[in-house]
């Protein structure tokens, strides 16, 4: 339900090019109609009130991962958050935590992409390619479904308490991506490759406090991925102890 005709948006503003100016909250009062999203309001604020406001957006339908931010204390996508869901007519917007701010709500995603690249986020094949598709059963396809859904929005990255203390931790999205491939019946990466993440900066760094699961707008449940990777690593270890050789 819409709480009043006019809403107040308090937006945290900062420009890394002017480091001497402290971050501050800018206030915008704007008329709201039912059905509008936080992104819809941001666009109107930039158009009609303050052209200098910076934020990212693209798809406006919760699929491109551009618009993650903190909305009244909760990390979410601005485009899928209805203004009317809050019990107040004041909406506070802050940039995604665990990142450096470039300007206003735009953060520098470089570390996120660096971690992503580290997990070798692609299908690894050794067998020669068949003429047609590589067969995959419906069941095997289901095993990766939740991880395939990841839109790389970094909501989880912003929510993760471990990343907050250790910037070298691989983080939920990258590990979920690793599990997406590790659990793909078609993937043939050597088991040893996972070893890179068999440590405190990898799968054992996670406190399993599930913040990432709460923050994820796509029900990816990164922690499931991390737990899955742990199991695989332990299984590999057991096999090694029993002297089973990798194919």
| 48 is a site residue for another protein (CB under 8 A) | yes
Strands 6-13 and 90-94: parallel
By beta-carbon proximity to ligand FES, the closer residue of 85 and 134 is 85
3-state secondary structure of 115: helix
| 160 is a site residue for ligand SF4 (CB under 6 A) | yes
Q: Sheet of 74-77: strands edge to edge?
A: 24-31, 6-13, 90-94, 68-71, 74-77
Residues near 41 by Cβ (< 8 Å), separated by ≥ 6?
A: 7, 9, 30, 32, 83, 91
CA 5 to chain centre: 33
Please check whether residue 146 is in contact with residue 58, taking contact to mean a CB–CB distance below 8 angstroms: no
| 58 is a site residue for ligand FES (CB under 6 A) | yes
Which partner from the list ligand FES, another protein, ligand SF4, none does 17 bind, CB cut-off 5 to 8 Å by kind? another protein
Say how many C-beta atoms besides its own lie within 10 A of residue 103's C-beta: 18
| 216 is a site residue for ligand SF4 (CB under 6 A) | yes
By beta-carbon proximity to another protein, the closer residue of 116 and 206 is 116
Question: Please, what sign has the CA dihedral across residues 222, 227, 231, 236?
Answer: positive
- Return the residue of 42, 215, 229, 233 that touches ligand SF4, per CB under 6 A: 215
| 57 is a site residue for ligand FES (CB under 6 A) | yes
Q: How far is the CB of 230 from another protein (least distance, A)?
A: 23
Q: How far is the CB of 197 from ligand SF4 (least distance, A)?
A: 12
Site for ligand SF4 in 119-158 (CB under 6 A): 150-156
By beta-carbon proximity to ligand SF4, the closer residue of 13 and 177 is 177
Q: Which spans of this chain sit near ligand FES (rule: CB under 6 A)?
A: 57-60, 62-67, 77, 79
């Amino acid at each position: 339900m819409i709480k009043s005709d006019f809403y107040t948006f308090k937006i945290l503003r900062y420009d890394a090019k002017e480091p001497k100016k402290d971050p501050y909250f800018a206030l915008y009062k704007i008329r709201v109609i039912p059905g509008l999203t936080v992104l819809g309001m941001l666009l109107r604020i930039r158009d009609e009130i303050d052209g200098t406001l910076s934020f990212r957006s693209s798809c406006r339908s919760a699929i491109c991962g551009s618009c993650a931010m903190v909305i009244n204390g909760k990390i979410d996508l601005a485009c899928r958050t209805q203004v009317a869901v809050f019990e107040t007519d004041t909406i506070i917007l802050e940039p995604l935590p665990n990142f450096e701010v470039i300007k206003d709500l735009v953060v520098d995603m470089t570390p996120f992409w660096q971690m992503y690249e580290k997990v070798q986020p692609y299908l690894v094949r050794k067998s020669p390619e068949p003429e047609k598709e590589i067969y995959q059963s419906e069941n095997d396809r289901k095993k990766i479904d939740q991880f395939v859904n990841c839109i790389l929005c970094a909501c989880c990255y912003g929510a993760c308490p471990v990343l907050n203390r250790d910037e070298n931790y691989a983080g939920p999205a990258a590990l979920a991506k690793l599990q997406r491939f590790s659990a793909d019946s078609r993937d043939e990466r050597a088991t040893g490759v996972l070893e890179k993440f068999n440590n405190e900066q990898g799968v054992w760094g996670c406190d399993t406090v599930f913040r990432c699961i709460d923050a994820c707008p796509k029900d990816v449940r990164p922690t499931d991925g991390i737990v899955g990777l742990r199991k695989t690593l332990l299984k590999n270890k057991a096999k090694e102890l029993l002297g089973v050789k990798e194919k």
